[in-house]
Amino acid sequence: MSLPAVDTLSATLKNTFGYASFRPLQREIMEETLAGRDVLALLPTGGGKSLCYQLPAIVRAGLTVVISPLIALMKDQVDSLLQNGVKAAYLNSSLTDDESKDTWRQLFRGEIKVLYLSPERLLVEGMLDTLEQLKLEFVAVDEAHCISSWGHDFRPEYRALKAVRARFPHVPMLGLTASATERVRHDIVEMLELKNPRTFVASFNRPNLSYRIVPRLSPIKQILEILEGYRDESGIIYCLSRARTESVAADLVKKGINAEAYHAGLPAEERNRRQERFVKDETQVMVATIAFGMGIDKPDVRFVIHHDLPKNIESYYQETGRAGRDGLPSECVMLYTSSDAAKLRVFIDQLTDPLEREISSRQLSRLLQFAEGSECRRVSLLNYFGEVYKDESGEPALVCGACDNCLTPRQEVDATEVAQKLISCVLRIKKHSGFSVGLNHIVDVLLGAQVEKIKKWGHDTLSTYGAGKGKTKAEWLYFARELVTAGLLSINHDHFNVVDVTSEGLTALKDKRTIRLRAPLGTSGLSVDKRKEQRRHLGAVDFDEEIFTKLRSWRAGVAREKGIPAYMVFSDATLQAVASKKPRRYSDLRGVSGIGEKKLELYGEAIIELLEST
């Protein structure tokens, strides 16, 4: 097919979706697929993957098929497209016979531009023949990493896609994913049989997200403090266990927060109901295990709190990534305690597969390094994924200005005495018993704890027993780990994580060297000024709060009436733009991001009326 004029893409972006500009790589990806080539696109969550196939689908004459793994998401996407006046439909097991028939009729009349299919559907007899009759022109494979057994979300049904390729060798294919290691990327290309695909890899930086890690002291109180900044706005709190989700949710409800728990132990129907309530803003805060998130596209999640330590840095990135897909400033806070790390360590030590143990252990170390570290969070996250952070001007940078470590850099403190106590405690225990012990035991000795093993091994007779009562256990563990990082102590991960003093540590103790370590994570929240500074870095715009609130409640009414989530009517970003520009005339609304022709027609007058009355 012939390539549409470049302006067709921009015009459709504006008219149909109401957006003024493309997100990074969107245009390149669209042009490449429209030129008939296979493409693999790696964009972060919120990068705007859907548009990469939806917009070309509108421009194309024939049918675009989108393969998607989650039934809930298909419905969501189709509803969103219909709101923008794009003819879309889906076929999956959730439809009744009548609904399916109706969709088929529309398909055969050539009324549908975008058809969402589950991979299983492709294998239904006659499906491929039918697609041929329907003039299939383009296939987009969403969540393409599902095809790889190396990915974190392997779905064997995805292998059915091979049949599509075999049947339609000349129909261009687009594979999309937000997560792909080299290995998975290779698998996608191979399994989809992409032909000389061009691969587009966007930056994985999420410029509108802020990262903050604070010590977990009294979690409910801390969560309530964070929530104060978000009256009616959505957020997710991730917990490690099902029981914890229940108890945190219950505690929050007691404090008047509209919260609910979500975990895999709930019956599927109940899970769906809760998810739906969250998506429709009937529940403000979802307290969930990691079972929650994959199936939601809710773009206006304003905060993600980790009550417990995530599994590793990848998981942390994925989970925090569910905040702020709409591009508005959003916040990620982790409540951190080294005892979580200790628990994970015990769990890892019990893994029977040596390779798995090794990998998990390394991942945990990296995670702790990240969590306790004083480097810019953004720089260090991206660095983990092999990317150099670049600021708005495109220059490599070492600070983002919006994370806790950038906003409130941590001081170094004189830790000479602390270090001496720790090092000599390790030495005395070894001298006394002839073997080394783990961090917990060392700290227990310093604290003078009444622990069975201490008595059994006679460690309560050591001069260091009880010598560290001035500090909490968490503080001792923190400094001990810092000494490991500094190379004065070492942990033997292959042997029960026992701790030894390195030769450098010995010298430091002998020479009474001054030792400076970074102070532990600050306990205070961000000051008002710091918060303002942060929002500026995250690209916040000024808007009229009162109008925004009015628009939101108007939107809630419309959404309820139509039975769709509020964000499908308009995103927060769009409402903020309206509350910032305060257009007076109907036609001025055309200039607002997120208002396409269809939505203008549907809601334009109501908005102008609402603005006039304020």
For ligand ADP, the closer of residues 42 and 437 by Cβ is 42
CB atoms within 10 A of CB 452: 7
d(CA 429, CA 433): 6
Nearest to 426 by CA among 518, 494, 504, 498: 498
Binding of Zn ion by 78 (CB under 5 A): no
For ligand ADP, the closer of residues 235 and 520 by Cβ is 235
d(CA 2, CA 265): 52
49 binds, among ligand ADP, Zn ion, none (CB under 5 to 8 A by kind): ligand ADP
Closest separation in Å from C-beta 209 to Zn ion: 11
For ligand ADP, the closer of residues 84 and 245 by Cβ is 84
Binding of Zn ion by 462 (CB under 5 A): no
CA distances from 433 to 239, 387, 426, 428, 448 (A): 39, 47, 11, 8, 17
CA distances from 367 to 75, 221, 336, 371 (A): 36, 25, 11, 6
Residues contacting residue 286 through CB under 8 Å, at least 6 positions apart: 234, 235, 236, 237, 259, 260, 261, 262, 274, 278, 292
For ligand ADP, the closer of residues 38 and 326 by Cβ is 326
18 binds, among ligand ADP, Zn ion, none (CB under 5 to 8 A by kind): none
The pair of three-digit structure tokens given for residue 534, joined into one six-digit string: 């942060």
Task: Determine the size of the site formed for Zn ion (CB under 5 A).
Answer: 5
Q: Quote the Cα angle for 511-515-519, to 5°.
A: 165
For Zn ion, the closer of residues 253 and 397 by Cβ is 397
Closest separation in Å from C-beta 39 to ligand ADP: 15
403 binds, among ligand ADP, Zn ion, none (CB under 5 to 8 A by kind): Zn ion
118 binds, among ligand ADP, Zn ion, none (CB under 5 to 8 A by kind): none
CA distances from 59 to 17, 106, 138, 346 (A): 13, 19, 11, 56
Binding of Zn ion by 499 (CB under 5 A): no
45 binds, among Zn ion, ligand ADP, none (CB under 5 to 8 A by kind): ligand ADP
Q: Residue 330: beta bridge partners? A: 209
For Zn ion, the closer of residues 58 and 213 by Cβ is 213
Sign of CA dihedral 237, 243, 246, 250: negative
326 binds, among Zn ion, ligand ADP, none (CB under 5 to 8 A by kind): ligand ADP
The pair of three-digit structure tokens given for residue 39, joined into one six-digit string: 């493409």
For Zn ion, the closer of residues 345 and 378 by Cβ is 378
23 binds, among ligand ADP, Zn ion, none (CB under 5 to 8 A by kind): ligand ADP
For Zn ion, the closer of residues 134 and 399 by Cβ is 399
Binding of Zn ion by 406 (CB under 5 A): yes
Sign of CA dihedral 377, 381, 383, 384: positive
Binding of Zn ion by 301 (CB under 5 A): no
22 binds, among Zn ion, ligand ADP, none (CB under 5 to 8 A by kind): ligand ADP
51 binds, among ligand ADP, Zn ion, none (CB under 5 to 8 A by kind): ligand ADP
Any idea which residue has 């007058």 for tokens? 605
Sign of CA dihedral 53, 596, 47, 392: positive
Closest separation in Å from C-beta 536 to Zn ion: 13
For ligand ADP, the closer of residues 307 and 325 by Cβ is 325
Binding of Zn ion by 407 (CB under 5 A): no
376 binds, among ligand ADP, Zn ion, none (CB under 5 to 8 A by kind): Zn ion
Q: Which of residues 349-388 bind Zn ion (CB under 5 A)?
A: 376, 378
- Is residue 117 within 8 A of residue 66, CB to CB? The reply is yes
Q: Where are the alpha helices (DSSP H) in 328-459?
A: 338-349, 354-372, 377-384, 404-407, 416-433, 439-447, 452-456
DSSP 8-state code for residue 591? G
Q: Which of residues 191-210 bind Zn ion (CB under 5 A)?
A: none
| Residues found near ligand ADP in the complex (CB under 6 A) | 19, 22-23, 26, 43, 45-51, 297, 299, 325-326, 571, 593
For ligand ADP, the closer of residues 144 and 477 by Cβ is 144
Binding of Zn ion by 43 (CB under 5 A): no
Stretch that binds Zn ion, among 160-168, 257-265, 302-310, 405-413 (CB under 5 A): 405-413
Amino acid code (one letter) for 421: K
325 binds, among Zn ion, ligand ADP, none (CB under 5 to 8 A by kind): ligand ADP
Sign of CA dihedral 442, 447, 452, 456: positive
Binding of Zn ion by 559 (CB under 5 A): no
- Is residue 577 within 8 A of residue 568, CB to CB? The reply is no
For ligand ADP, the closer of residues 19 and 116 by Cβ is 19
Q: Find the residue with minimal CB distance to ligand ADP.
A: 48
Nearest to 216 by CA among 480, 521, 441: 521
> What burial letters (b/e) apply to 63-93, b meaning 16+ CB within 10 Å?
bbbbbbbbbbbbebbbbbbebbebbbbbbbe
> Which residue in 313, 334, 403, 499 binds Zn ion (CB under 5 A)?
403
Q: Where along the sequence are the contacts to Zn ion (CB under 5 A)?
A: 376, 378, 400, 403, 406
